[in-house]
Amino acid sequence: LRHLVLVLGDQLDEDSAAFDGFDPARDAVLMMEVREEASYIPQNKRRIAFFFSAMRHFAEALRRRGWTVHYSELDDPENAGAFGPEISRHIRALKPGGLVVLEPGDWRVGDALRSLKPAPEFREDRHFLCSTAEFTEFSRQHPRMVMETFYRAMRRRMDILVERDGSPAGGAWNFDADNREGFGRGGPPPVPPTRRFRPDDITLAVLDMVEREFPGSPGKLNDFDLPVTRRHALAALRDFVEHRLPLFGRHQDAMWTGQAFLFHSVISGPLNLHLLNPREVVEAVLDNPANAPLNAVEGFVRQVIGWREFVRGIYWREMPDYAGRNALDATLPMPRFYWTGETEMRCLAQAIGHTIDHAYAHHIERLMVLGLFALLLGVKPYDVHRWHMSMFWDAIDWVSLPNTLGMSQQGDGGVVGTKPYAASGNYINRMSDHCRHCRFDPKQSVGEDACPFTTLYWDFLARHRKRYAGNLRMRNQYANLDRKEGAELAAIQEQARGLRARLTAEGFL
Ligand code: DLZ
Ligand code: SF4
Domain shared by 285 and 152, yes or no: yes
Nearest CA owner, ligand 2 atom 6: 435
Q: What is the CATH number of the domain that holds 276?
A: 1.25.40.80
| The pLDDT of residue 509 | 43
Residues with CB under 6 A from ligand 2: 345-347, 425, 428-429, 434-435, 438, 440, 442, 451-453
Residues of the chain whose pLDDT is less than 70?
505-509
Choose the final residue of a domain: 272, 290, 318: 318
Write the DSSP symbol of residue 170: G
Q: How many whole angstroms from 267 Cα to the centroid of ligand 1?
A: 18
Which ligand has an atom closest to residue 350 CA? 2
Domain shared by 137 and 255, yes or no: yes
Can you tell me whether residue 195 is helix, strand or coil?
Answer: coil
Q: What is the CATH number of the domain that holds 49?
A: 3.40.50.620
Q: Is 244 exposed, middle or buried (0-12, 13-18, 19+ CB in 10 A)?
A: buried
Choose the final residue of a domain: 318, 345, 379: 318
Domain shared by 141 and 191, yes or no: yes
Choose the final residue of a domain: 266, 288, 318: 318
- Give the span between the Cα atoms of 71 and 60, in whole angstroms: 10
Nearest CA owner, ligand 1 atom 18: 106
Cα angle value 447/452/457 (rounded, 5°)? 110
- Give the span between the Cα atoms of 95 and 72, in whole angstroms: 17
- What contacts 484, CB < 8 A, 6 or more positions away? 458, 492
Domain shared by 313 and 370, yes or no: no
Q: How many whole angstroms from 105 Cα to the centroid of ligand 1?
A: 9
| The pLDDT of residue 507 | 58
- Phi, psi torsion values for 152, nearest 5 degrees: -65, -40
Smallest CA-to-CA distance from 182 within 443, 370, 436, 419 is with 436
Which ligand has an atom closest to residue 432 CA? 2
Nearest CA owner, ligand 1 atom 5: 37
- Give the span between the Cα atoms of 5 and 7, in whole angstroms: 6
* Contact present, 234 and 332 (Cβ < 8 Å): no
Strands 69-72 and 28-32: parallel
Domain shared by 114 and 167, yes or no: no
CB atoms within 10 A of CB 206: 27
Atom of ligand 2 nearest to the CA of 429: 3
Domain shared by 177 and 300, yes or no: yes
Domain shared by 119 and 138, yes or no: no
Torsion of CA 310, 426, 178, 281, to 10 degrees: 40
Which ligand has an atom closest to residue 10 CA? 1
Smallest CA-to-CA distance from 350 within 237, 262, 472 is with 262
| The pLDDT of residue 231 | 98
Query: Is there a domain that residue 324 lies in?
Result: no
Range of the domain at 136: 132-199+227-318
Domain shared by 298 and 446, yes or no: no
Domain shared by 100 and 78, yes or no: yes
State the first-to-last Cα distance of the chain, in angstroms, to the nearest integer: 47
Query: Is there a domain that residue 51 lies in?
Result: yes
Query: Is there a domain that residue 208 lies in?
Result: no
Query: Is there a domain that residue 115 lies in?
Result: yes
Residues with CB under 6 A from ligand 1: 8-10, 32-34, 37-38, 43, 48, 51, 104-106, 109, 396
* Contact present, 113 and 120 (Cβ < 8 Å): yes
Domain shared by 260 and 312, yes or no: yes
Domain shared by 386 and 432, yes or no: yes
| The pLDDT of residue 44 | 94
Which ligand has an atom closest to residue 71 CA? 1
* Contact present, 256 and 213 (Cβ < 8 Å): no
DSSP H helices in 95-146: 107-114, 132-141
Write the DSSP symbol of residue 171: G
Nearest CA owner, ligand 2 atom 8: 425
Query: Is there a domain that residue 162 lies in?
Result: yes
Q: How many whole angstroms from 128 Cα to the centroid of ligand 1?
A: 18
Q: How many whole angstroms from 396 Cα to the centroid of ligand 1?
A: 8
- Residue to probe by mutation, ligand 1, list 37, 48, 56, most atoms within 8 Å of CB: 37
Strands 3-6 and 98-102: parallel
Query: Is there a domain that residue 221 lies in?
Result: no
Nearest CA owner, ligand 1 atom 13: 9
Query: Is there a domain that residue 18 lies in?
Result: yes
Kind and range of the H or E element at 361?
Answer: none
Number of domains in the chain: 3
Query: Is there a domain that residue 219 lies in?
Result: no
CB atoms within 10 A of CB 67: 17
Q: What is the CATH number of the domain that holds 368?
A: 1.10.579.10
Can you tell me whether residue 441 is helix, strand or coil?
Answer: strand
Can you tell me whether residue 450 is helix, strand or coil?
Answer: strand
- Looking at the DSSP bridge assignments, the partners of residue 5 are 29, 100
* Contact present, 79 and 49 (Cβ < 8 Å): no
Smallest CA-to-CA distance from 399 within 319, 330, 321, 474 is with 319
Domain shared by 291 and 402, yes or no: no
pTM score, two decimals?
0.96
- Sign (positive/negative) of CA torsion 69, 75, 77, 79? positive
Tens digit of pLDDT for each residue in 378-433? 999 999 999 999 999 999 999 999 999 999 999 999 999 999 999 999 999 999 99
